[in-house]
Structure 1
Amino acid sequence: MDVPEALYLPDGDGFTATALTIGPWDAAHQHAGPPAALLLRAAEQASGIDGGQTVRLAYDILGPVPVGPVQVRTSVLRPGRRVELVEAALSAGNDRPLMRLSAWRMRSRGDAAPATPLTHPAPAGPEESRPERAAFFTTEVAYHRALEWRFAAGTFNGPGPAIAWTRPECALVAGETMTPLQHLLVMTDAASGISATLDWTRATFANVDLSVALHRPPRGEWLGMDAATVHGGTGAAQCNALLFDADGPIGRSSQSLFVEPR
């Protein structure tokens, strides 16, 4: 089986998505995790704060992102030496944005208030957790092979909340090492997948947004999330996750899901 080395290949002034970006609903469309990471990469490159930290990422998913050529453009909406707001938008073949990121970035400093002690949410580390692959993807090579998945609680292939660790199995962009924050974005959009409460063959529950709030940057090879999905009974649901690395919690994510029968 031929597995690409990266989620994206540089292509002129844009990128070409590989099969590792394929999502669970349609083999022609990307999972939202990889383009979320690609937009984060662009926002950090456009930043004017050297060595800064990204503390809030708000994504709007405006349409399906095709598996193929994509372009990214950025703008700094609120420049500053200590705090800035950067916007990045992804399109495919025209100027219509398919996914948009608004990212707040701040200066990093080591002489501020000490870190708040927090209890680690994972009942087991990655080495003690159960390896698993998602069974609901329709192609052998797709998003589920971009990361190694290990479950400390719950499962990809059954209903209910779940706690999972991941580490990268590929690069985000060919020729580059995936950073911990890029890894976090590739992973976090799958929170609603690992905590699904509906049958994948009978319902769709795609998210229209993704919000990530971080009190510190992620670090290390293994990152994880403790995710749960709640349905409102009216065709909408919310997925929330506590995000962590080996040292403890790093922030939270939320997703709004549009639910309907297949």
Structure 2
Amino acid sequence: MTTGTPAPDSYYVRTDEHRFKPTAHAGGAWNTEEQHFSPLGGLVVHAVDQYLAGRGDRGLMLSRISYDILGRLALDECEIRVETVRPGRTIELLEAQVAIGGRPVVRARAWLLAAQDTRAVAGGADRRLPPPEQLEPWPMAELWPGGYIASLDVRPVAPPRPGRTTAWVATPLALVADEPSSPLASFLALVDTANGIAVRQSPEQWMFPNVDLTVHLHRSPEAGWTGLETTVAFGPTGVGLTSTVLHDVHGPVGQAQQILTVRPMPRS
């Protein structure tokens, strides 16, 4: 998408109740004429938040969301519709569908679980990453093109290594112009970046896009910085896996998994 005016300081602009137009900041890394999935994943949660707000708070927390990428994410207006698949007072399943040009391109399912006070038994992994303010920025745009990558502030904990990197990611941009987004939507809008911070092979020679993203959360994250403790594995038959422990500034909040299709870059 090209325009003669600067892009707004957001990834999307709302055009009606269910439709959003991506700005140049949402431009993809594999193809700058497509959307990067990361902000679109956050936009889906933004739509889910609005759907839930429209019916009133029932004390449920989004604890897992799985996205399936069904087709090309053109840098064009998208429509998001949300519905309840399995209603319930303590456990509920929602589904969101994203369409571009009338064609479904993403289908997401989110499990909502009842929020309860379990502080007396809370425990598990609690290792905190070094604060991002103490770390130096990494010019990730030198490795990847696209408006989305250019919009990021990336702070690796240590120099990135092939297949293994831990980094903080943040953005100064709003998810949707002139609209507040929940901490969860803002946090998840950065998670799909994981597949680009720990590349095993040069993206100029190999393609390894993900066809899905599944996020499990044991705690609601705070907005601001998204911590990605990422490992990438390539198998011998064209399939890869990006696995990430997700952090906010207080510690781990959950995990993300992305399955990859690995193939040589086509020769021009």
TM over 0.5: yes
In 2, the alpha carbon distance for the partners of 1:230 and 1:138 equals: 23
Partners of 1:180 and 1:218 within 8 A in 2? yes
Deviation at 1:2, TM superposition (A): 4.1
Q: What is residue 8 of structure 2 aligned with on the other side? A: 4
Does the CA-based 8 Å contact 1:131-1:151 persist in structure 2? yes
Structure 1 stretches lacking a partner, 5+ long: none
Structure 2 segments unaligned to the other structure (5+ residues): none
Counterpart residue number, 2:228: 225
Match of 2:127 in 1: 120
SS at match of 2:157: strand
Q: Deviations over 1:95-153 (max 9, x none)?
A: x210111000122122565320533252x2101122122113335xx111333211112
TM-score, normalised by the number of residues in structure 2 = 0.89
Alignment correspondent of 1:71: 79
Which of these residues, 192, 197, 208, is aligned with residue 194 of structure 1? 197
3-state secondary structure, aligned to 1:99: strand
Are 2:28 and 2:37, in contact at CA under 8 Å, matched by a contact in 1? Answer: yes
* Residue 261 of structure 1: aligned partner: 264
Rounded to whole Å, the distance in 2 between the matches of 1:32 and 1:247 is 26
Counterparts of residues 97-176 of structure 1 (less than 5 Å): 97-110=104-117, 113-122=120-129, 124-134=130-140, 135-139=142-146, 142-155=147-160, 159-176=162-179
Structure 1 distance, partners of 2:122, 2:138, is 33
State the shift of 1:27 in Å.
Answer: 1.2
- Whether the 8 Å CA contact 2:46–2:181 is kept in 1: the answer is no
- Once the two structures are TM-superposed, the CA of residue 68 in structure 1 deviates from its matched residue by 1.6
Is 1:18 aligned with 2:23?
yes
TM-score, structure 1 normalization: 0.91
In 2: Cα distance, 1:66 partner to 1:102 partner: 22
Q: Give matches, 1:230-249, under 5 Å.
A: 230-249=233-252
Change beyond 3 A, Cα 1:216–1:256: same
Change over 3 Å in CA distance of 1:111–1:196 after alignment to 2: closer
- Count of aligned residue pairs for this structure pair: 256
Check whether the contact 1:77–1:85 (CA below 8 A) recurs between aligned residues: yes
Match for 1:62: what amino acid?
L
Conserved in 2, the CA contact under 8 Å of 1:219 and 1:245? Answer: yes
> How many percent of aligned residue pairs carry the same amino acid?
33
Q: d(CA) in 1 for partners of 2:232 and 2:163? A: 8
Partner of 1:85: 93
Q: Distance in 1 between matches of 2:229 and 2:37?
A: 19
3-state DSSP class of the match of 2:47? helix
SS at match of 1:207: coil
| C-alpha deviation, 1:187, in angstroms | 1.3
CA distance in 2 between partners of 1:110 and 1:193 (Å): 37
1:50 has 2:58 as partner: yes
SS at match of 1:76: strand
Q: Is the 8 A contact 2:240 2:262 kept in 1?
A: yes
